[in-house]
């Protein structure tokens, strides 16, 4: 066992998170440690064949190995294996050979094929925790988006991309890579790690310290594409969807069928005489559009359009065996902004879940344990890391997330410290802080009866004060109180009627 494995054995949990998300407070000291030890090739080889956390540590450690050429196939091998850390590994591999981007270019030309034999047939939950995204295919789009961003940091790289990759290939990488954000991860990691390596005297290449274009698709001539493709390229996806469907609605088509695959899109109008084909596009546009519609319609199958006038208020989306059935709604009455339901939190889909946890983030009972099982190790570790760095006092909160939850439509979990037991005013103040955050970052929120679990509050004790806080945000958020227990639900319903919430 070499010094790197010994260091990981002692301090691994402290090392990998700051290397995955570099921050000035912690990452430089870890980089300095890696620079001081003797990094053996056998240690790197072992770590780079393990899970994504090990791969991040080993990928960065390779930057301090005296023989970059020997490290290069190991890092690219981990990149090709389907790793959640592919953005970080791609940058590390290119830093080992900073003046020769041919390895990255070759992978882009092949659409970053992933060697998945060791992952196929494994349990999806295990695969997600150890290797990242449970969808094997998404590793290729994430890796390709990451390499696109890294190459685009230099003028020579941008010229090569435009001359060697088609617009459709770039679109497939950047827009179908919806869940994993390879482009943004690569951009953020490169921008953060470059100055830190410079401080250690590593003399990073100019492209690592340069600013990359924020609109990578803009490198290609979008205006040369059909108008419908242009609609699917510019602005946030809510606006793109509206611009795409609105012309067909204005032509009188309100019952639509959307079909396709990774290289083809077909839009048809349902008529009494059969389906009338309105549009056919060759390219990955169906896959990107389908993913966004599925995500935005996850709660109630209705996508509300943000800028709609009198022509189109929303889209009702239903899944078919092959494609989507879309009804274009001229009017739509959204559900009540506040509801008390008899379902568990797991069944109440929302952008943000709010739960109570203890100050050590043990997640060892009740709703917290359920959320931890759904979010996996990534959620638990992110919450523990933030609590270790921040405020653990009762009534404070931290945010956690995981890909598993994001794929279920839950972007984040706000974890409010309710053990040690807070005072009632602390509990309400903490909830208000969460709601202030939610108002700026989401539209739908779901929560149980905060404080009524291990903290020991009675429902009748907290119902009125908590609902008074929630009532201030009913115009800004859709709020669901998930109360499967009859006693808690009755107490909150009585208090909600008093305040005119139901």
Residues 288 and 349 in one domain: no
Domain boundary pick from 219, 237, 261 = 219
% of the chain surpassing 70 pLDDT: 92
Distance CA 417, CA 450 (A): 10
Domain boundary pick from 204, 219, 234 = 219
Residues 281 and 178 in one domain: no
CATH of the domain at 431: 3.40.220.10
Residues 487 and 374 in one domain: yes
Provide the pLDDT confidence category of residue 134 given band limits of 50, 70 and 90: very low
Structure tokens at 21: 């998300």
Provide the residue range defining the domain that includes 237. Answer: 222-329
Average pLDDT over residues 113-126: 68
Residues 215 and 251 in one domain: no
Answer yes or no: is pLDDT of 375 > 50.
yes
Residues 266 and 358 in one domain: no
* Tokens 């230099």 found at: 154
Provide the pLDDT confidence category of residue 131 given band limits of 50, 70 and 90: low
Domain boundary pick from 219, 234, 252 = 219
% of the chain surpassing 90 pLDDT: 54
**CA dihedral sign, ordered 405, 410, 416, 419:** negative
Average pLDDT over residues 279-289: 93
Residues 91 and 157 in one domain: yes
Provide the pLDDT confidence category of residue 314 given band limits of 50, 70 and 90: confident
Residues 141 and 243 in one domain: no
Answer yes or no: is pLDDT of 136 > 90.
no
Scored b (16 or more CB within 10 A) or e, 31-64 reads bebbeeeebbbebbbbbbeebbbbbbbbbbbbbb
CATH of the domain at 310: 3.30.450
Say what the pTM is.
0.69
Residues 258 and 348 in one domain: no
Quote the number of domains for the chain: 3
Residues 431 and 353 in one domain: yes
């Amino acid at each position: 066992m070499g010094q790197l494995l010994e260091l990981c054995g002692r301090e691994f949990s402290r090392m990998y998170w700051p290397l995955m998300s570099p921050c000035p407070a912690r990452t430089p000291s870890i980089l300095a440690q890696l620079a001081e030890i003797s990094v053996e090739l056998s240690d790197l080889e072992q770590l780079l064949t393990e899970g994504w956390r090990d791969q991040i540590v080993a990928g960065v450690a390779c930057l301090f190995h005296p023989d970059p050429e020997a490290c290069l196939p190991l890092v690219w091998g981990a990149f090709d294996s389907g790793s959640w850390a592919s953005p970080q590994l791609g940058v590390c591999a290119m830093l080992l050979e900073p003046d020769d981007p041919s390895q990255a270019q070759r992978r882009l030309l092949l659409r970053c094929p992933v060697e998945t034999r060791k992952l196929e047939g494994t349990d999806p939950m295990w695969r997600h925790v150890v290797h990242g995204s449970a969808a094997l295919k998404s590793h290729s789009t994430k890796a390709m988006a990451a390499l696109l961003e890294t190459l685009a940091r230099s003028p020579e790289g941008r010229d090569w991309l435009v001359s060697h990759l088609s617009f459709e290939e770039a679109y497939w990488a950047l827009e179908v890579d919806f869940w994993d954000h390879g482009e943004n991860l690569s951009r953020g990691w490169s921008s953060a790690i470059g100055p830190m390596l410079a401080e250690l005297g590593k003399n990073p290449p100019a492209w690592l310290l340069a600013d990359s274009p924020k609109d990578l698709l803009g490198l290609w001539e979008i205006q040369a594409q059909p108008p419908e493709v242009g609609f699917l390229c510019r602005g946030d996806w809510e606006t793109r969807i509206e611009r795409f469907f609105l012309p067909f609605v204005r032509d009188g088509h309100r019952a639509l069928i959307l079909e396709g695959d990774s290289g083809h899109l077909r839009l048809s109008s349902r008529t009494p005489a059969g389906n009338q084909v309105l549009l056919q596009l060759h390219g990955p546009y169906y896959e990107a559009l389908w993913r966004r519609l599925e995500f935005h319609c996850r709660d109630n199958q209705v996508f509300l359009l943000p800028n709609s006038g009198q022509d189109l208020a929303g889209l009702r989306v239903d899944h078919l065996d092959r494609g989507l059935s879309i009804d274009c709604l001229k009017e739509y009455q959204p559900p009540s902004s506040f509801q008390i339901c008899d379902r568990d939190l797991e069944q109440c889909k929302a952008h943000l879940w709010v739960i109570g946890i203890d100050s050590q983030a043990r997640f060892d009972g009740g709703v917290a344990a359920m959320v931890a099982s759904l979010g996996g190790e990534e959620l638990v570790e992110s919450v523990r890391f933030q609590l270790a760095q921040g405020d653990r006092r009762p009534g404070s909160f931290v945010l956690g997330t995981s890909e598993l939850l994001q794929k279920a439509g839950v972007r984040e979990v706000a974890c409010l410290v309710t053990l040690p037991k807070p005072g009632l005013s602390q509990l309400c103040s903490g909830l208000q802080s969460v709601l202030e955050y939610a108002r700026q970052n989401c539209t739908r929120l779901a929560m149980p009866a905060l404080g009524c679990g291990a903290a020991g509050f009675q429902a009748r004790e907290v119902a009125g004060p908590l609902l008074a806080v929630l009532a201030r945000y009913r115009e800004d958020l859709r709020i669901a109180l998930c109360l499967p227990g009859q006693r808690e639900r009755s107490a909150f319903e009585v208090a909600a009627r008093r305040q005119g919430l139901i």
